[in-house]
Amino acid sequence: MSDDITSHVAEHDNLLRAIEAVEHAPPILKQMQTDLKQSQQRHEEDNEKLKALEVATKKQYAKWMDITDRKPMRIWAKLPFTRLRQETLTERQQREEEKYLDAFAAEQRQRTEKETLGLDIRLTEDKIENLKQISREHTRLRNQLECLYESIFGGPTPKHPEEDQAEQAYEAAVREFNEIQDELHDESRVLAFLQEADQTMNLADRYLAQGDNNSLAAAQRQVDSARVLVEQARELRPAIPSLQVLNIPQGAMSDVLFDNIVTAVAFDQKIQTAVTKSKQAHEQLRKASGQSQMHLNVLKARRRQAEIKFTQETKILEELRREIMQCAAETLPTYQPRASGPPPSIDTGYEENRVVDASTTRPE
């Protein structure tokens, strides 16, 4: 620890003021990024709606124009004895025109909403870019503050044992969080290996059910791949049982039928035995995968608790260090300006307006 805490008081105060000026940015940035993602999704949906409305408008316009531009029907409608048909044609034309106008209005409303939302998205993106710059500055200042605290309080601090105790609790919380995080990362990889092995065994089971020569060979390849994946998972967590070795008979039932019935029956029995062992191995694999998923869920819960504890200990340590620095600032001597008024008098032993006794003077 630095013996002269007071030499860093001014720097500490400047950092706190600078952080206070930009600490609003990170939470606002996070919220605006969430809002932007939702707005972009809405914008895509609005775009799809607009496309559908454009199609509907064109279709309705075509219907309206089809009636309006029918020359034979217009000529027929003008004949004296087709007055009723003329009214019917006019009504149809009006109905189609109204439908077209309604469709066109709906399209324009949707277009306006889409354009308005697009403008809001662009404005939000500009604000986010500005907030990103401020957030980067906030991160830089926070890192600078942590470096300052480490240079002052790093290691034993005999004059402030409460800081040592808080620092030890903080370091313990960091170790616990990192250990759980590493374990969670490894378990995630274990589960990924086991799930991929499970999918591989599903393929092997389907190939086994087909029973032809090519399928049996493919089943053997899938089983071997699943065993490799399980071994990769075991490298991270040795407690996982190995996948038992499966030797699937090669050939096809059609090949041995020409030999004799005994050979055919024996070959079929080998396939059935392989199917049984494959199911057993697959069941064992699914059990291991389920246990891995349960373990992963437990680790996620532990990580949440460790993260809460880490945040609490970080806050306690930082507030304590800040309090120590502020107390050091309060103990610094302050400059007192000179009071107004005439300067104080100084006794020099000489009277400026001394009266001389005439009786004691000698005539020249």
Whether residue 51 is found in the same domain as residue 111:
yes
Whether residue 149 is found in the same domain as residue 20:
yes
How does pLDDT run across 343-360, given as a tens digit for each residue?
455 444 444 444 444 444
Q: Which two tokens stand for residue 136?
A: 């980067």
Whether residue 148 is found in the same domain as residue 280:
no
Whether residue 195 is found in the same domain as residue 135:
no
Look at residue 97 and tell me whether its pLDDT is greater than 90: no
For residue 361, the SS3 value is coil
What pLDDT does residue 262 have? 56
Indicate which CATH number applies to the domain containing 37: 1.10.287
Measure Cα distances from 226 to 201, 202, 212, 223, 233 in Å.
6, 10, 21, 5, 11
Number of domains within the chain: 2
Whether residue 129 is found in the same domain as residue 227:
no
What confidence category does residue 70 fall into, taking pLDDT thresholds of 50, 70 and 90?
Answer: low
84 belongs to a structural domain: yes
How does pLDDT run across 157-173, given as a tens digit for each residue?
888 899 999 999 999 99
Whether residue 243 is found in the same domain as residue 307:
yes
Q: Which amino acid is at 84?
A: L
Indicate which CATH number applies to the domain containing 285: 1.20.1330
For residue 3, the SS3 value is coil
Whether residue 85 is found in the same domain as residue 233:
no
For residue 290, the SS3 value is helix
Report which DSSP code applies to 185. H
Whether residue 145 is found in the same domain as residue 190:
no
304 belongs to a structural domain: yes
Q: What are phi and psi of 232, to 5 degrees?
A: -65, -40
- Quote the domain boundaries for residue 138: 5-154
336 belongs to a structural domain: no
d(CA 146, CA 56) in angstroms, rounded, equals 62
Of 99, 119, 154, at which residue does a domain stop?
Answer: 154
Helix and strand totals (H; E) in the chain: 8, 0
194 belongs to a structural domain: yes
202 belongs to a structural domain: yes
More confident residue, 249 or 31: 31
Q: Is residue 29 a contact partner of residue 180, using CB atoms and an 8 Å limit? A: no
Whether residue 185 is found in the same domain as residue 325:
yes
d(CA 205, CA 60) in angstroms, rounded, equals 55
What pLDDT does residue 351 have? 47
Neighbours of 219 (CB within 10 A): 27
The whole-number average pLDDT for the span 172-197 is 96
* Helix 213-236, helix 261-330: angle, nearest 10: 30
Look at residue 197 and tell me whether its pLDDT is greater than 50: yes
The full DSSP string for 299-362 is HHHHHHHHHHHHHHHHHHHHHHHHHHHHHHHHTS----PPPSSSPPP---S--TTPPPPGGGPP
Q: Which two tokens stand for residue 80?
A: 């004296």
What pLDDT does residue 78 have? 54
Whether residue 80 is found in the same domain as residue 130:
yes
Say what the pTM is.
0.66
Name, in order, each residue with C-beta under 8 angstroms of 8's C-beta and a sequence gap of 6 or more.
2, 148, 151, 152, 325
363 belongs to a structural domain: no
Report which DSSP code applies to 80. G
348 belongs to a structural domain: no
Whether residue 324 is found in the same domain as residue 245:
yes
Look at residue 92 and tell me whether its pLDDT is greater than 80: no
Q: Which two tokens stand for residue 129?
A: 């870019």
Whether residue 80 is found in the same domain as residue 105:
yes
How does pLDDT run across 215-272, given as a tens digit for each residue?
888 988 999 999 999 999 999 999 999 988 888 777 655 554 445 565 666 767 888 8
Report which DSSP code applies to 23. T
37 belongs to a structural domain: yes
What pLDDT does residue 87 have? 52
Average pLDDT over the chain reads: 83
* Helix 261-330, helix 161-210: angle, nearest 10: 160
